[in-house]
Amino acid sequence: MNPIPIIYQNQEIFIINKKAGMPVQGGEKIAHPLDEELAKQVGQKVYLVHRLDKDTSGLMIVAKSPQAANKWTKLIGSKEVKKEYIAICAGSLKEKKGEISEDIIQHGQTKRAVTHYQVEKEWTIEREEEAIPMCRIRLLLETGRMHQIRIHLAKQGCPIAGDDQHGNFKLNKVLRKAAGIKNLQLYSVKLVLPLNGKMETFINDGVLGAEPLGEGVANNEV
């Protein structure tokens, strides 16, 4: 297995670039989870501060001790840490910038969930029988519920391409053939966090999907 890229580290945390398809936490029948693989790589136990879905790639904070994990979990909960994502979606949003505020049910409980978004680019994938509208959206989480971005965008009629759980399975099959989209198109691209008395920004420049997929068979870009 290839090493997990470490973008930054200090005495408390690692900032790593998680690849798509890697689960973050071990368990029964879960192979090569991030917490186990990173621990082997750095020679010490690591502690999860927050999570990314298995199929989501990009920047993530991992702590070096239980004390650090507790500190950084509270920082994320207090919104001192800002997390931005890029999603490639099938569909369009009427308002190109705004806020999605819709509760999410988790473990039988209703949780407040807020996602801020801005549409960065729109284009169309043309097929013989239909034109598929596509867009690239930048998202900033105000709350961090499980699958929040995926659920919010799907409920707006603009599901993330490659999301078979919350999105459009039938359309995803079309996109696989028409544009080569095989995986969930959601990426953690930016972290802003307090370090050494100031706010530091980390950006994942090499994220796949940051440019529109399927442009070779697309037109009507906006």
Task: Tally the C-alpha atoms within 13 A of residue 113's C-alpha that lie toward its C-beta.
Answer: 20
What is residue 35's three-state secondary structure?
A: helix
Neighbours of 159 (CB within 10 A): 24
Query: Two tokens at 69?
Result: 């994990």
Residue 63 and residue 9 in contact, taking contact as beta carbons nearer than 8 Å = no
**Within 43-168, where are the H helices?**
66-77, 148-155
Residue 116 and residue 126 in contact, taking contact as beta carbons nearer than 8 Å = no
Phi, psi of 134 (to 5 degrees): -130, 155
Q: Burial, 33: exposed, middle or buried (Cβ in 10 Å; 0-12, 13-18, 19+)?
A: middle
**Residue 89, CA distances (Å) to 35, 70, 134 in order:** 29, 34, 6
Residues annotated as part of the active site: 53
